[in-house]
Amino acid sequence: MVRVTHDSTPALTAPGTIVHRADEPDAPWWHDAVIYQIYPRSWADADGDGIGDLPGITARLPYLRDLGVDAVWLSPFYVSPMNDAGYDVADYRDIDPRFGTLDDADAMIATAHDLGLKVVVDLVPNHTSSEHAWFQAALAAAPGSPERDRYVFRDGRGPGGAEPPNNWSSVFGGRGWTRVTEADGSPGQWYLHIFDVTQPDLNWHNPEVRAEFESILRFWCDRGVDGFRVDVAHGLVKEDGLPDWHGPMGVFDEVDADTGPSGIGRDVEELEGHDGTMVLDHSATGNAPMWDQDGVHEIYRAWRDVLDSYGEPDRILCAEAWVKPATRLARYVRDDEMHQAFNFDFLDTHWNAAALARVIESSLRSNDAVGAPTTWVLSNHDVVRHATRLGLDQSAPRTNGIRATDPQPDAALGLRRARAATALMLGLPGGAYLYQGEELGLPEHTTMPDEVRQDPTFHRTDHAIAGRDGCRVPMPWVKDAPSLGFGPGDDPWLPQPEAYADLAVDQQAGVDGSTLELYKALLRTRHQQCLGRGALTWDALTSETVVAVRNSSPERDADVLVLANIGPDPVPLPDGEVLVASGPLSPGHLPADTTAWLRVATA
């Protein structure tokens, strides 16, 4: 049973007391970079096959320069059977023909650099595809062979080894083990797959595995990439002995107090937090035998040595690590390990001022303790888009996908809150990641027909969990064009909802008040005011309904007050020059679900 402890989050630091000190003016680029995630299948289709590709990405890169971001992160484009949208990699050193060629990758990287954009690529080290040459060799080899030792093969339990080696489930639903048939036709060993059955877990105790991935890092650094987003960074090392586990298995799934993530956890309890909401004890994250084991840190120290050998500017590592509490996540960004780790606590927090204020302070303090910047995020390819998520019941658990038969969001409310949430996030010190299309206010596709869904979560849970397809829908570029300008054909790999037409880039570019122009203004002002390198103190206006932070810096002679009204009623707007606001302002007041940045006298 997961141990339950009461929320002991301390009260916020008193207004006027520094929570986070300003960064140095010459801090490395990644300390305050805004990085834009491109999901290659859904960004731009150059050849008309309905799937986005590298030439399409290259052609659209000037859009990102004009948006004002510093770098791009590309989800996987490697050779893959696409059983999990490319996160099942068959060859880490080549491009899947759906996306193009290595020459196309080189051209994309060169074009990005010419435009002043850095390039971060995805790396998937927890597992390979079952079509990877290593796994095919493992299937052909005998139990106990060097080929099998690259993966997690075990004998089964019970008579004839007919039962899996332990009780672990798959994050995508069903059990986490599959039995193989040996060369002589007899039932054989079992292999571990924490995700899909076609994604066998690697054995990171094997030196050959470690050497291979250090070589992969060098391969892509030599081609000019500026960093790596590391998939499931907290999952590589498993506890010795692979003990049974009765807690939740989810990585990015909804949390239900009775059954755990995706209904596959057990015996999860809830308790009442300080603000009256029900919370789960997540201190057990590091105790789960498949997550956040201490051995992962030795791996990342070795990777850091590889990247540091390339000199300046820094090549970076960013951890996708669903780890709690924040102090444990901060271990991934110690000065000899990774550079960044996504702040999923921030993403997971409901639209509640007290909760947001607590996670902002705890995140900054935890990272400051190891000398690392905080990396903020609100949406990505694995979660319901925040323009939709914030239009749902904010007392309910975060859901993994939405179907037409599920409760539907309040679209207008969700967009208003999403704009305010982004303005709050981009006003904070540290780095930030944006997910493609959020600058258009794109909602989740919540009425997608079940027959077109491709996420293995949907299929492995017998359609009980909608999964992630709704946030992966192709971009709308031009309202009156085939596939809304995504490509020359009119049959993209996932259908676009009707709402995307009026949100297309050509419908928002240059339009005052549009979400696209808001993002441009936020990014431009953030850069001009050096907000990503600023110090943070709480302003006295912070309350149960308002998050108010002062962002100060020796690089300017005034503070920027970031004021987010998360309550239901307007609040007085203090004196100051409004630099940007997430929505229209009332005379002398900040409306509900609105964030404003004001230039104010230094406190």
Please spell the DSSP secondary structure of 356-407, one letter per residue.
HHHHHHHHHHHHHTTT---EEES--TTS--HHHHTTS-TTSPPPS---TTSP
Residues paired with residue 377 on neighbouring β-strands, in sequence order: 433
506 is catalytic: no
**Residue 581 contacts by C-beta under 8 Å, 6 or more apart in sequence?**
423, 590, 594, 595, 596, 597
461 Cβ neighbours under 8 A, 6+ residues apart: 172, 173, 174, 262, 263
8 A C-beta contact, residue 113 and residue 236: no
Helix %, strand %, coil % for the chain, to 5?
A: 30, 20, 55
- Contact present, 560 and 551 (Cβ < 8 Å): yes
As a whole number of angstroms, the distance between CA 481 and CA 223 comes to: 35
Distances (CA, A) of 395 to 84, 352, 418: 31, 10, 17
Q: Rounded to an integer, what distance in angstroms lies between the CA atom of residue 444 and that of residue 451?
A: 17
**Six-digit token pair at 20?**
């986070």
CA 554 to chain CA centroid, Å, is 32
Q: How does strand 153-154 pair with strand 187-192?
A: antiparallel
d(CA 533, CA 27): 8
| Residue of 320, 439, 444, 559 marked active site | 320
The C-alpha atoms of residue 359 and residue 10 are separated, in whole angstroms, by 11
Nearest alpha-carbon partner for 120 in 180, 34, 49? 34
Catalytic residue among 231, 348, 438, 593: 231
Strands of 187-192's sheet in order across: 153-154, 187-192, 177-181
- CA dist., res. 265 & res. 258, Å (int): 8
Q: Are 335 and 316 in contact (CB under 8 A)?
A: no
Give the 3-state secondary structure of residue 563.
strand
In this structure, what are the phi and psi dihedrals at residue 467, rounded to the nearest 5 degrees? 85, -165
Q: Is 320 a catalytic site residue?
A: yes
Residues involved in catalysis: 231, 320
